[in-house]
Amino acid sequence: MTVITPITTEILSQAKWAFATRRVNRKDAVCMTGRLETAQSGDLVLGRVERIGSHKRIQLAEGRTAQLYTGDLVVLASGARYAPDQFEGVAELDPQGSDMLAAGGVIGRMRESHSRMAAPTRVIPIGLLMDATGAVLNLDHYALEKSIRPDGLHVIGVVGASMNSGKTTAVASLAHGLSRAGHRVAAIKATGTGAFGDFNAFIDTGAHYVADFTDAGMVSTYQQSAARIEAGLDTLLAHAAREGCEVAIVELADGVFQKETGELLRKQRIQDCFAGVVFAAPDALASAGGCTALRAMGIEPAAVTGMVSCSPLGAAEAEAATAIRVISKDDLCDPAQANALLSGIIGSEGLRSALPQPGTLADVGIAA
Mean pLDDT of 148-165: 95
What would the pLDDT profile of 263-310 be if each residue is shown by its tens digit? 999 999 999 999 999 999 999 999 999 999 999 999 999 999 999 999
**pTM tops 0.85:** yes
217 DSSP β-pair partners: none
User: What per-residue confidence (pLDDT) applies to 365?
Assistant: 58
What is the H or E stretch that residue 79 is in? none
Spatial separation of the C-alpha atoms in residues 36 and 49, rounded to whole Å: 17
Strands 44-51 and 154-160: unpaired
Going by C-alpha positions, the residue among 51, 54, 52, 32 that lies closest to residue 43 is: 32
CATH topology of domain 154-363: Rossmann fold (3.40.50)
Residues of the chain with CATH 3.40.50.300: 154-363
Whole-number Å distance between alpha carbons of 193 and 35 = 25
Residue 342: CB atoms within 10 Å:
26
| 172-195 tens-digit pLDDT | 999 999 999 999 999 999 999 999
Count of other CB atoms within 10 angstroms of residue 230: 18
Q: Looking at residues 41-56, what average pLDDT do you find?
A: 98
Strand (E) positions, 161-301? Answer: 185-189, 209-212, 247-255, 274-280
pLDDT of 201-260, one tens digit each? 999 999 999 999 999 999 999 999 999 999 999 999 999 999 999 999 999 999 999 999
DSSP output for 221-255? -TT--HHHHHHHHHHHHHHHHHTT-SEEEEEEEEE
Instruction: Tell me which of 4-8, 65-69, 155-159, 232-236 is least confident.
Output: 4-8
The 10s digit of each residue's pLDDT in 304-344 is 999 999 999 999 999 999 999 999 999 999 999 999 999 99
Provide the mean pLDDT of the chain.
94
Instruction: Give exposure, 102-114, as e/b (b: 16+ Cβ within 10 Å).
Output: bbbbbbbbbeebe
* Cα angle 255, 160, 166; round to 5: 120
